[in-house]
Chains A and B, each alone.
Chain A
């Protein structure tokens, strides 16, 4: 190949480049939904049920309607034709409750929307809500999934008295044989408690209907604007091409903004009804009650192993707390746990059962990790228990069972094909960084002094880059359009919808390298369905692996066109495009992207079979998921007097394939680890027996804060995926998935001299103090 004479722009991919979205966030100039103001805009406030289960005898809205400034009050009867909140998941025999946007004759969770007041400002709207009188006939509620499944429990939906929404069974290999031939069988009930996602920005919607041309503009804080468009347009019987959804700046989602919510449908409906723009902003209290929750598993594990530590089979029964109704993915989430139940281990035989239980609680759905943290927590706890049973080191049993490097692509007993991996590498690296052998010696010393020091390991695997379309509820592909403008600047339109992940930066890095332009010449546009091609959205650590790949292929198409123009302009058929220049390999003459763009739009002359302009669009369907992996190692000490856990060291080695921007990867890992530690130590949604959410605000729901975080020592191994040409796997959820089992394993290890074998999260000081004092007195 001929060498180019033009100096290539510095390579951007792989660099620690600061996020280009940050200046507007840091200076407070970003536009969130609540920053949107329109002439004549009205404000909606929603009356919500204070009861977890009740019949609505009557609703009196007369006083609210009479309040000065109130434009309208609507109740369930009014919105009967507005449709129901959509569920996108399908499972055989699934019972899907019809969840109207406002309750009609009964409520089945605290926070259930009952009426909406629309007024000239948000204060009057809120005052109006207080003037509505609802006569409820309060019923018993059930707020615990195991209690919901017990005979005689209150039926969340009267038509399904057993509270069972679905059952699901999957098996692979020969689990009966595995258990019959096992040397050891270890059983444990493991809870992954209900968590409450909390983004900095709560949800919010502005709906703006224009009757004359039948167009709807819906601004909403969402992770999946196209999905919202398709669903709400369909539900309201509107034309999809005239329905525009904009996700403006979105202040975090964590999975809780993938769904299409009642308020999105309701606000659009109100705007049509009143012919005015209408805004609703969720309060924090509403966010706790009315945006989805995560996790909510009770798992029953059985694991079969040989005396040498070889794991031969896993049986798992999941009771999934679904809540009272379904949002878009509710019933599908536990099936992801089943898919990932073997973890990184070769485990040839599995059997899994899920029972989905209705409770009078907020629906559960995808929350950072969505099904994989539960699965990882389960298998990683179980593996530790098997090791303890066999008196093996927890590292040894993991190394023994990992899928081996030469076995990739590796078909799992759950029907997946793991793409690529070197599973022992991150574990070995973490152990080396930690000085594992030395730590174990320190632990012996600590124990002699009566201190509770623990070393916890977690080797996690996850399923990312959702995904091949047949395996996803709404298509799993992604799209990108790249335009080189006449000036030579580059605009990327992407179907993903970032809200904190930094793709405005990473995608610009990809473009910069492929087209040889500077990062500041690239603009990445997302989140507006009237501007970007149809896309699936940002969730499941898919944006770069799927959306970035779509972009990569669009760039290849564009480069081919650029080359054609280069050949025409340089009057040669021996032209190379590199470093932003088309160069004639014979004459050495060259022309840059800028000149080519000008010529392509001026169009005085065109290459054969080529139209004017420089635009390419690509829709990319991934052939497989990607499977990132890694190992976290955590050293803890439990204070024997108070039960407080202190994390002495936190080592995170993550393998997310190729790294486009190490700064962003660090950020994703840190945030993820914070959330995982949050689950391990502090966070929990607590309902009382009446279905009242006890942890309904930040005064009682313990969000991790900066001062509660340990220093995170992070590192990487790099195993590119063959699934996409970028070799990237995804890193958005890794930290969360790795953290909770690593922390819990560490604390269990710390307390193992007291005979502790398992602990359910969160590991509150009181829980540990009780164990320690009981152990001491024993």
Chain B
């Protein structure tokens, strides 16, 4: 488990890093996904640019109705941030489900979204939060929605030379309830399926429903048919069941040693029902 030789830079500024990336270097964040691939020599970058020493790339800042999260913010920082716990609890809860303590202390939100593992946890929450992802290259900066960012297995809207600079999530006001429910793949701890739910009620009707799904297919997605079916309803147990059953509709589900496509789809609906019930119950 020994990587090939590579060059390593640890710049202090973002510009310096972007300069190196423009020359074809590869960003290194927490290393929790990249280093294992390098050890197995599945990935053999010649030059790594460590984003870890760049000043002001790790932050959680509230600005008006949104919260900005810097790319190198660790899963642990997200999980334990009082700001996020108070104002965007779905993201903090999701972070708490990632890997183990060591992984959460090292792994970063930028690395996780850039890696786009189809079984990663964050993407489900980011879909449900309709998060924005800010991408920065040496000469450009652009903002894409989570819906557009996650393209396919390990494939995102990132272009070469670009990094994820930050993730922007909304402040959830009162009246919103959220929940992340995950079925662990028993060996890896990644998601067989993970369902992130965010619901808002007006009076006794669901005014807004967002359901992000990970693990089920090639990429995280929003279960829009299910969302629509819930909006305007009260969220009774029977309605929840019916809505949950729609989550996997039309999805080309993954199948592997740990869960066949049928079982995954079944789990998606069971866990969607759970997430919906919990989220509705959490509406203050």
A residues near B (Cβ < 8 Å) are 45, 122-123, 126-127, 130, 283-285, 641-642, 682, 686, 694-695, 698-703, 708, 764-766, 769-770
| Contact present for B187 and A699 (CB under 8 Å) | yes
List residues of chain A with CB within 8 A of the CB of B270: 641-642
Interface residues of B in 21-65 (CB under 8 A from A): 40-41
- Binary per-residue interface labels of chain B (252-284) against chain A in the complex, 1 for a CB within 8 Å, 0 otherwise: 000001111001001100100000000000000
For the complex formed, measure the closest distance between the CB of B102 and the CB atoms of chain A, giving whole angstroms. Answer: 13
Least CB distance, B203 to chain A, in whole angstroms: 32
Q: How far is the CA of A764 from the CA of B183 in the complex (A)?
A: 13
Report the bound CA distance from A651 to B10 in whole Å. Answer: 54
Asked if A700 meets B267 with Cβ closer than 8 Å, knowing A122-B2, A123-B5, A127-B5, the reply is: no
| A641, B273: Cα distance in complex, Å | 12
Q: Are A283 and B187 in contact (CB under 8 A)?
A: no
Question: Given A642-B270, A766-B260, A769-B266 in contact, is the A123-B1 Cβ separation under 8 Å?
Answer: no
Query: Distance (Å) between the CB of B33 and the closest chain A CB?
Result: 12
> In the complex, how many angstroms separate the beta carbon of A285 from the nearest chain B beta carbon?
7
B236 beta carbon closer than 8 Å to chain A: no
Interface CB pairs A-B, < 8 A, 25: A123-B3, A126-B2, A283-B1, A283-B2, A285-B40, A642-B270, A682-B186, A682-B187, A686-B257, A694-B257, A695-B187, A695-B257, A698-B187, A698-B188, A700-B187, A700-B257, A702-B186, A703-B187, A708-B186, A765-B263, A766-B258, A766-B260, A766-B263, A769-B263, A769-B266
Residues of A within 8 A of B257 (CB): 686, 694-695, 700
| Across-interface contacts of A285 in B (CB, < 8 A) | 1, 40
Q: Which residue of A lies closest to B189 (CB)?
A: A705
Q: Return the chain A residue nearest B274 by Cβ.
A: A641
Q: Across the interface, do B2 and A766 meet the contact criterion of CB distance under 8 Å?
A: no
CB distance from B19 to the nearest CB of A (A): 28
Q: What number of A-B contacts does a CB cutoff of 8 Å give?
A: 46
CB nearest to A639 among chain B residues: B270
Task: Give every chain B residue within 8 A of A700 (Cβ-Cβ).
Answer: 187-188, 257-258
* B4 contacts across to A, CB distance below 8 A: 127
| Residues of chain A lying within 8 A (CB to CB) of residue B3 | 123
The answer to whether A766 touches B259 (Cβ under 8 A) is yes
Contacts of B186 in A (CB 8 A): 682, 702, 708
Q: Which residues of B contact A769 (CB under 8 A)?
A: 263, 266
Per CB-CB distance, the 4 closest pairs between chain A and chain B, nearest first, are A702-B187, A702-B186, A126-B2, A283-B1
Which chain A positions have C-beta within 8 A of B266? 769
CB distance from B64 to the nearest CB of A (A): 40
Q: A127 to nearest B CB, angstroms?
A: 7
Q: A489–B187 Cα gap in the complex (Å)?
A: 48
Name the residue on B nearest A694 (C-beta): B257
Partner pick for B187 among A126, A127, A701, CB 8 A cutoff: A701
In the complex, chain B residues 171-203 whose Cβ is within 8 Å of any chain A Cβ: 183, 186-188
Q: How far is the CA of A701 from the CA of B188 in the complex (A)?
A: 8
Bound CA–CA A406/B267 (angstroms): 55
Report the Cα distance A639→B234, complex, angstroms: 28
Q: Whole-angstrom distance between the alpha carbons of A641 and B266 in the complex?
A: 9
In the complex, A396→B108 CA distance in Å?
Answer: 57
Q: How far is the CA of A285 from the CA of B186 in the complex (A)?
A: 19
Contacts of A702 in B (CB 8 A): 186-187
Which residues of A are found within 8 Å of B5, using beta-carbon distances? 123, 127
Residues of A within 8 A of B260 (CB): 766
Least Cβ–Cβ distance between A623 and chain B, in angstroms: 45
Q: 13 extra interchain contacts, Cβ-Cβ under 8 A, other than A700-B257, A766-B263?
A: A122-B2, A123-B2, A123-B5, A285-B1, A682-B187, A695-B257, A699-B187, A699-B188, A700-B187, A700-B258, A703-B187, A765-B263, A766-B258
Residue of B nearest to A708 (CB): B186
Q: Mark B1-18, 1 if CB is under 8 A from A, else 0.
A: 111110000000000000
Inside 8 A of B188's CB, which chain A residues have their CB?
698-700
| A765–B5 alpha-carbon span in the complex (Å) | 43
